[in-house]
Amino acid sequence: MHLIYFDEVKYDPPNQTSFWLGGICVPHLEVQGIERELNEISFDAFGSQNLEKSTEFHGIEICRGSGNFKGRPYNDRLEILKRLLTVAARPTISRLYVKINPKNIVASSTPPDKIAFMYFVEQADDLLSSKETLGMLFGDYDEPSISPSVASLAEYRLGVTRWARGKRIRNIIDTVHYAKSHHSRLIQLADVFLYCLQFHAQNNSAPWRQGIDSVISGSGMLACRRKIWPLRAEWP
């Protein structure tokens, strides 16, 4: 059994011109060990291992020095980021993401987040199939996305995913489970992973961005199963 934790980076032009959905796929027997390791990082960073908002890891806060990391020295933040990405990059964890480029969609009324979720389910199911195992999905609690994603997964499991090349979903079981990110270290790790992934894809010429991107590039976490769509103007 594998557990797949995922998060999103919303489409927000002109600052963010794509919609990203991605996460980490973890063997269930390793979850507790990873939680312990992340709790140790939490204790070093915050002086507590408690699952609270004040001890929560967010990629954007670590990279930009905001939220729980406001006022933290740059090098301290880089070290925390490096430790987190080292966990995300371990060989037994698989990383996967979907990047939707709305400007290249010629004709579709389907919102980017729904397209991304469909492709993410396909990618996750294919990954689980390659491992000859079953898996469950766990996402960051985002009220507008919960009911549609639960309904969509149920539809996919009963039939196929949408559009002309719909796929059968055979290896994802049950429903999509959601939790507040401060209640799950693994969802926090998925957040940090995905934020860093999209950070790496941006213009990182500024010195402060170069340092962060150097940590991301050197972590090994960029080796991912991916779906980027559409690469050019395309009909669904």
Tell me the pLDDT tens digit for each residue of 58-98: 999 999 999 999 999 999 999 999 999 999 999 999 999 99
pLDDT for position 234: 53
Q: How far apart are CA 177 and CA 187, in angstroms?
A: 11
The pLDDT tens digits of the residues spanning 129-170 come to: 999 999 999 999 987 888 899 999 999 999 999 887 899 999
Q: Considering the domain 2-224, what is its CATH architecture? A: 2-Layer Sandwich (3.30)
Q: Is the backbone of residue 75 left (phi > 0), alpha (psi -120 to 50) or beta?
A: alpha
Are 68 and 56 a contacting pair, CB within 8 Å? yes
Edge-to-edge strands, sheet with 2-9: 172-179, 135-140, 2-9, 19-27, 94-100, 225-229
